[in-house]
Structure 1
Amino acid sequence: MKFSLFFLTILSSMACLSQNLTAKQILDKSISYHDPNNEWGSFDSSFTVEMTTPNTSKRTSVIEINLPTEYFSVKATRDSITTTYTIDKSKCIMAYNGKVLDSVSAKEKRMSCDRANLYKNYYTYLYGLPMKLNDPGTNLSETIEKKTFKGKAYLVLKITYDEAVGSDVWYFYFDPTTYAMEVYQFFKTDDKGKENPDTGEYILLNEEASVNSIKMPKVRAWYYNKDDKYLGTDTLVGN
């Protein structure tokens, strides 16, 4: 009974905090929390991420992002192999163990410029959240949900994308007091745009690291929505 009363009190507090806020205002508050000095638009820095997955050796990636000059690079090392993908404006450069590859040798190593751009979009998106939710082609639902996830109450915003950007449906979970982003989750959709609850993943964010005064998640743990199966963890270890 005491737990139930406590839970109801939390929900009531959330309602009071959010009843006069729109979804856009909640997003803006989260952006202000994570990027208090409005640095993301001029982001120019590097950071190192260690990825650990079950039954696989650790991968260490040094990531460089310079948004004003449209430069991106990821140098990933696993065991004795190091691959480097660089996008400099429209120029794509790939290297294997320090040796720059031509198109033929890149294909032999199963490396491609398509993958280089995939990595660019992946790392820029995930480490640019929640600021990236203001990008063109991003559609913020006006509905604000109140959910409890893993025992904690959150304000949840729903995001869809224009067809040219992506078909997944994303949900972002914000602390109702600080507006820190602590969880995000996505689902695949069918041909009619309906979400499939047995698809997609959720990502738990823990701790924070400051990169160019931006509060980024230090630890991101990935799980399947369907069965809570653990997929892996990305840890920001330095910059």
Structure 2
Amino acid sequence: MRDRRVVITGVGRGLGRRLAEALVEAGDEVWGTSRNGDAPEGLRGRVTMELRSEVSIAAGSAEIASQTDGIDLLINCAGTDARSFGAPPGERGPFDLDAETFNAVMEVNATGPMLVTKYMLALLRAGRDAMVINVSSQLGSMALAQTMGADTVYNVSKAALNMLSLKTAAAVRDDGIGVVMIHPGWVRTDMGGPSAALTIDESAHAIVDTIGSLSIEDSGRFIRWDGTDHPW
């Protein structure tokens, strides 16, 4: 379904920004959120939303609700890692981080998506074949955790997001809302680095195509950008 009403977080930069652009190119009506209100051109609305603040999430959601009576697709794309809060590249193991840094990453990557979905729930219930896409990571996979990922709290936060997604999927299934986790691939962003396998364009366009093929029957799946199942 095209001409969807879409909300996507984290459109200020990186994958979130390119996803927002790709959705507009696909014919969707898109509201984008970021910490400072920065967003690409062509969006239906640009909303300031700080994911570490429930007050900000509630206010941003109310702003969107004043402009539409329903949302068909929510993409929780905003994410961060310990480097954003001052952790040196080589000091991100389980005993390197203080509680403040650990909790800050958890707030953005797990608590934030939970609250965004909570405050968007009325709009999603009013949507058409509504779907929540939580942008997860292969680094949230228990099967891969022992061999992948230098940033412990990033791994933990994405694993938490996966569990949150499963619980959310069960909670909203009777409302006809689907919830799917997507690993976007190893992407050449600020976090992914220049050696990553996929360009932002490759990941974004593949994700948009994959989302277009999903239905309520896919709810609870953890998939890759190309729609194939990802190991838990």
The structure in which a higher percent of residues are strand is: 1
The structure with the larger Rg is 1
More helix by share: 2
